[in-house]
Structure 1
Amino acid sequence: MNEQVAIQKEKMTNLKNLKDQVIVITGASSGIGLVTARMAAAKGAKVVLAARNEEALHELTDELQQAGHEAIYVKADVGLEEDVIRIAETAMKEFGRFDTWVNNAGVGIYGRAMDVSDQDMKRLFATNYWGVVYGSRTAVRYYLERGDRGALINVGSIFGDRGTLVQSAYASSKFAVHGWTDSLRMECEREGVPVSITLIHPAKVDTPYNEHARSYEEYMPVHKGMIYPPEAVAEAILYAAANPKRDVYVGSQAKMLQFLGSNFPRFTDKLWEAVFPPTQYDKHRHANPLEDSNLYHAGYGLHERGTNLGWKRKSSIFVKAAKHPVITRIILASVGAWVLTKMTRKGDD
């Protein structure tokens, strides 16, 4: 009897290794979702790919299957609850379960807060916020019914921790995602739901987000400055799929902006007002027409990266640190001890 209790307790607390998992990924046809799908499959996971671009999904699924991986796809608009439920039903029909659900799908709008139409804002929230709500509820209900712990991973944003100019609608939707994730996590923990809920906080990431976004501005949206590869976000997502984590920050700029905004809000306002707007567009290119964005229909697929400008990093130290917390603490403690020793010796001199 005690052995059965121990086994059940282990099932409620542990997450499976990636090679033993079935992973649902929304927004899988480009950018972060595309890279995550390829990386998860390469690590042995079975993947359920969801997006609006059926042609891209079909091609990606063929690519993975021909490489010997198990993959299926579902054409779905996460802004529609019935489509999200259909994703789960397809995973159950094909694989009999899913172990990790990744809410990654998202759309963007570049435009001043007073300029963006109500209709466009509502459509953005349908994908960025309601898509996360529908996916979260679907996953949590399934884990509760199954009684075997799974992972829910919501992809937030640097702008979900701190508001911004030019992308006010997008930032607001990500604020909502962050609040939803924190609230749901507490409720699930209090009620003993067997789920690990992780919020990913990416900084600027080199994906086609800028090309897909609807822009009210004259020039082509881009990321400038320090930009992280989508592989860094995928690495964070897949680590959280197998290792319970509350939050994972991708990029030092994400953590720094969150810290500054929380502790020095007025200073951050002034700094951001001066620095941020010029980093959001390329004056050498005009923005795409509004109707070419992916706000209301699928954008082009199978592109991992966009046309962004700046220092493109190869990885994120913050993600590496999250994966090796003990080593990170030892290194920080050693550095601190070394600094303290140097200061003490200087004082003695």
Structure 2
Amino acid sequence: MTDFVGGEAVKPFLLLLVLAVVGCASTQSPRVADSSARGRWAGKTVVITGASSGIGRGAAVEFGRQGANVVLAARRTNLLEEVAGEVRARGGTPLVITTDVSKAGDIERLAQAAVRRFGRIDVWINNAGLGVVGPFWDAPVADYSRLIDINLKGVVYGSHAAVRQFRAQGGGTLVNVGSVVSEVPMAYYACYSATKAGVLSLDRALNEELRLNRLTGNIKVATIMPWAVDTPWWKHAANYSGHTPRMLALDDPSKVVNAIVNTAEHPSKEVPVGWKAQGAYISHRIAPDITETISGNIVQREQMEKGASAPVTTGSLYRPIQAGRFVEGGQREEMKREDQQRRLPAPPEGPRSQ
């Protein structure tokens, strides 16, 4: 079995295809956003953390297109103002609140501002998140502590504020953005995997508490679990791998944006997004050891062997950076260029000195 799942014995893409067949037979794909849905969220209030770029920005604009009041939270105020302009242009009503999700006080202030302006919160989306890439032992503990503050504590703070408000007003929907690594841990992303597993565990426990207290009729909690996505996340991650962060077959962010918007309207507890995430999610439950071996081999090849050389960076862990300001991150194009460069023939050797 070890030979079967080895890096070169079977191509990674074919392995993913096998996982996909298993997964798609067992799960439902998210609905595609309805292009005629303008006005569907009119008068409803949606809070989105990590709204300055990537999936958060895409979701904010889509909710705005559907008429929502959109509360935009992130550290980069200038980019939030840009997103607010897009939301307004598409028919939504934005509110910008500069927020560091790692600070409980900022989250409390965010919730209070949303209620003060719009009267209630119908949907709260905990989307903000970063990564630390590389061998676990190479990154400093301080970086892992900071990552936990953002990815896990930030979700705890946001979920706590949201659910308390939902109870006070009689209902609401909490959408937490996890990852396929919530279910399938990934080599060289150890602490990131741990934080995303924590998000999934939090949501599962919270759903049980809501059931036991007969609150599931009015309060919904959903975990979105995407595959790797082409957003600025890759530029914002701390990196100790020695290579540019990359992953096989990145998904388009619109796929995850659609899943978030549709889950907010039709909540489901756990939502693996797309065939790759669905396949990994189901196969890990059937054959965890094999799935983790395949995952590890893919990351070893894509990240540690194929990635171009890159210097150590803390990314935007400690302070925001202006790079990566749109929904898409351009990662697929960069990977294509890297792959083309790697295929070029080596330059001929010069004449040897006698």
TM-score tier after normalising by the smaller chain length? 0.7 to 0.9
CA distance in 1, matches of 2:325, 2:292: 37
CA distance in 1, matches of 2:199, 2:307: 34
2:269 alignment partner in structure 1:
246
CA distance in 1, matches of 2:82, 2:292: 44
Deviations, residues 157-182 of structure 1 (Å, cap 9, x unaligned): 01110111111110010011110010
CA contact under 8 A between 2:232 and 2:325: conserved in structure 1?
no
1:208 alignment partner in structure 2:
232
Distance 1:240 1:286, change over 3 A: same
Distance 1:284 1:165, change over 3 A: closer
CA contact under 8 A between 2:64 and 2:92: conserved in structure 1?
yes
SS of the equivalent of 2:289 reads: helix
Cα offset, 1:102, TM superposition: 0.2
Q: Name the TM-score, length of structure 2 as normaliser.
A: 0.78
Pick the aligned partner of 2:288 from 236, 246, 265.
265
The letter for the 1-side match of 2:236 is H
Pick the aligned partner of 2:140 from 109, 117, 121.
117
Deviations, residues 253-299 of structure 1 (Å, cap 9, x unaligned): 112112222221222233233222222368574335414x1111113
CA distance in 1, matches of 2:90, 2:226: 29
Pick the aligned partner of 1:34 from 44, 57, 74.
57
Unaligned segments of structure 2, at least 5 residues: 1-38, 336-354
Distance 1:17 1:108, change over 3 A: same
Matched, 1:177 2:199: yes
The letter for the 1-side match of 2:155 is V
1:77 alignment partner in structure 2:
100
Matched, 1:295 2:317: yes
The equivalences for 1:276-315 within 5 A come to: 276-280=299-303, 285-291=308-314, 293-300=315-322, 302-309=325-332
Distance 1:84 1:139, change over 3 A: same
Identify the structure with bigger relative contact order (alpha carbons < 8 Å, sequence gap 6+): 2
2:256 alignment partner in structure 1:
233
CA distance in 1, matches of 2:321, 2:64: 23
SS of the equivalent of 2:220 reads: strand
SS of the equivalent of 2:294 reads: helix
When structure 1 is superposed on structure 2, of 279-288 and 161-170 the one drifting more is 279-288
SS of the equivalent of 2:128 reads: coil
Deviations, residues 43-80 of structure 1 (Å, cap 9, x unaligned): 11110000011111122213332444210111011111
CA distance in 2, matches of 1:299, 1:176: 26
The letter for the 2-side match of 1:117 is P
1:188 alignment partner in structure 2:
210
Identity %: 32
CA distance in 2, matches of 1:153, 1:209: 19
Deviations, residues 309-337 of structure 1 (Å, cap 9, x unaligned): 38x9xxxxxxxxxxxxxxxxxxxxxxxxx
CA contact under 8 A between 1:222 and 1:282: conserved in structure 2?
no
The letter for the 2-side match of 1:22 is T
Cα offset, 1:221, TM superposition: 0.8
Pick the aligned partner of 1:53 from 69, 76, 97.
76
CA distance in 2, matches of 1:202, 1:278: 21
Matched, 1:158 2:176: no
Q: CA RMSD in A?
A: 2.1
The letter for the 2-side match of 1:132 is V
Unaligned segments of structure 1, at least 5 residues: 1-15, 313-349
CA distance in 2, matches of 1:132, 1:165: 23
CA contact under 8 A between 1:210 and 1:307: conserved in structure 2?
no
CA distance in 2, matches of 1:114, 1:308: 26
2:24 alignment partner in structure 1:
none
CA distance in 2, matches of 1:104, 1:184: 18
CA distance in 2, matches of 1:105, 1:124: 11
CA distance in 2, matches of 1:270, 1:57: 40
Distance 1:44 1:68, change over 3 A: closer
Matched, 1:197 2:184: no
Distance 1:273 1:70, change over 3 A: closer
The letter for the 2-side match of 1:155 is V
CA contact under 8 A between 1:221 and 1:282: conserved in structure 2?
no
